[in-house]
Each structure stands twice: as C-alpha cells, then as structure tokens.
Amino acid sequence: MNRHYTSPTNPCHVISAERYRLSHIDYVTPDLPKFDAMVEFLNFSDTNLHTRPEGYGLILLEAEEHSLAYFGPIEQVRQYQADNAAGAATTFDHTQGVMIGGWPQGVAWDGFIPTTYWNRKANGAVDDGIGILTRFDHPVTPGAEVIVYEFEGGWLADRPTHKLVTYHCTACHLDTFTDSGHVHENDGPDTRRWAARQARQHMESAKKHGVNRDGQSACRPNNGEMLRIVNEMAKKRRYEHAPLPDTDDAYCAIHGPCSIIRELRAGVRPAAAYA
C-alpha cells in the first residue's frame, strides 16, 4: 500500500504521500478568458507565487488521500508531456516551478479540470469511479477493516445515479447513507481525501472510546437489534416475506456495503446502491 503521512498534531489529517500518479496535464495561458482570476490561486496572504505572465504548464498529481498541483514553465511541461507519451519521461525538476498541496479550486477553475476518479477503466477497473480507494486495519476489532470505496448510487431509487465515495467499517457495519455527510459525490481528489479522513476519524473514535453504543464512540454496532425488531413486527402482522438475517454482519453481507465491497474486490460491477 502507498504510505501516507499525517500531521504530527492530527492523525486524521494527511499532509503527503510516498507516491503520486500523474492524473492530468494542461496549460494556463493568458488567452484563457479567466486567466487573471485563475492565477489568483497562486496568491497567498503572505506570498505571491504568480511570477509567469506568459502562463504555466500545469501537472496534477494524485495519491489515494492527497493531491498536488505543479505550476511550471510551459516548455518544461510540454517536454515532459511529450516524453511521457513516448514512455521516456523521467522525474521532472519541480524546483523550476511551484508545487502546491491540492488541486486548483474556485469559480474561475470550474469546468477547466476534468472530473477524475481513482479507479479507472483504462487501468483495469470495472468502470471509472467503481472500486476500492484504500483500506485500514481496524484499531480495536481483530480482522475488521475500514474500507474507503468508489461506487455508483443515489439517495432516491427513481432518480439518476451518481458516482459516489464513502467508507465502511466491518466492525460496526453502520451504513453511511444513514449518517448525514458521510456519502459524497465523487468529483475529485479533495472529495476522496475527505471520505478517507472520515474513515480515519471513525478509527480514532474506536481507538479512544471502543466499539460500543455508550454514546461516545462513532463505531457503534447495532448487534442485530433493529433486524430482530423488524422480523418480530413482520411475524406479528403476518407479513409474507423471508425473515431478515438477525445479525449485522450477515445482513450487510447480503444487502449492505459488505456486498458491494465483496463484488468490487472480485472485479464485478455492483448494482447501484441507494439510501
């Protein structure tokens, strides 16, 4: 696995990675209608990094939980792009330009950078934006994992699906669709980084507070309680349906995120998932 480095003061905040891959190359030049607004991205409160009125070559790099943007000389980036297309590219000299954490954002950049996914069909995934992003060993429950994954789904079954990203913990099997703000539209590396950050926060909570329902831990298994209630109500009202599995892991393996993750790992495209 690719090693990621976190802040010394916050184990959930990733600040860099050991390896990055090339995601996109482009050029930011004065002939673009929003050039002046776009290069404002290089102006920080104490430093103005916009030093090339002729424009920039832009290289966007990405790891599972972090991303970088390189603004450098146009000719340097053109040469690197040509060498890369020919399979002869070597590490470029990043000291010729500036490297910034994160990809450019803002109204001026809307529509300029294409939507990218970590899992890509061209690289062997079943489809763009369908697959495992990263995984972590659970800090408390032996054999359990917290898995961050890209998938297709939505909040309403009768509406168009979206490319989404979230995480799943196999110690508690909570469905993130029921936890507001934990399923995200998968529109770039910042969104994927945030989903992975939430997975790390989930693990930190389990490490501090355990795996329980005492009101403090985010890792809080239902222990099949709701499933047994549904089965009992169905039995009393004589609904004709097969009983639901009465444990969280069994239900999740058939109807929940575990079933999606199993298919992703097998290289099969799962059916769209809905809240």
| Domain-wise residue ranges, the chain | 4-109, 121-274
Predicted confidence pLDDT, tens digits, the chain (275 residues): 899 999 999 999 999 999 999 999 999 999 999 999 999 999 876 788 999 999 999 999 999 999 999 999 999 999 999 988 877 766 788 999 999 999 999 999 999 999 999 999 999 999 999 999 999 999 999 999 999 999 999 988 888 999 999 999 999 999 898 888 999 999 999 999 999 999 999 999 999 999 998 889 999 998 655 545 555 555 545 555 555 566 788 888 888 899 999 999 999 999 999 88
- Distance between CA atoms of 171 and 144, rounded to whole angstroms? 5
How far apart, in Å, are the Cα atoms of 156 and each of 75, 102, 175?
48, 32, 15
Residue 213 is predicted with a pLDDT of 85
Residue 92 is predicted with a pLDDT of 80
Q: Token digits for 130?
A: 């369908």
- Distance between CA atoms of 141 and 156, rounded to whole angstroms? 33
Asked if residue 76 lies in contact with residue 93, where contact means CB atoms within 8 angstroms, the answer is yes
- Cα angle 5-9-11, degrees, rounded to a multiple of 5: 45
Helix (H, G, I), strand (E, B) or coil at 275: coil
- Distance between CA atoms of 229 and 90, rounded to whole angstroms? 61
- Distance between CA atoms of 127 and 271, rounded to whole angstroms? 12
Sheet containing strand 67-72, edge to edge, reads: 21-28, 56-62, 67-72, 98-101
In the numeric block, the tokens 């790390």 are attached to 200
Helices marked H in 106-176 — which ranges? none
Q: Token digits for 54?
A: 């002729």
- Distance between CA atoms of 31 and 148, rounded to whole angstroms? 40
Residue 223 is predicted with a pLDDT of 67
Beta strands in the chain (DSSP E): 4-7, 10-17, 21-28, 56-62, 67-72, 98-101, 131-137, 145-154, 162-169, 184-185, 273-274
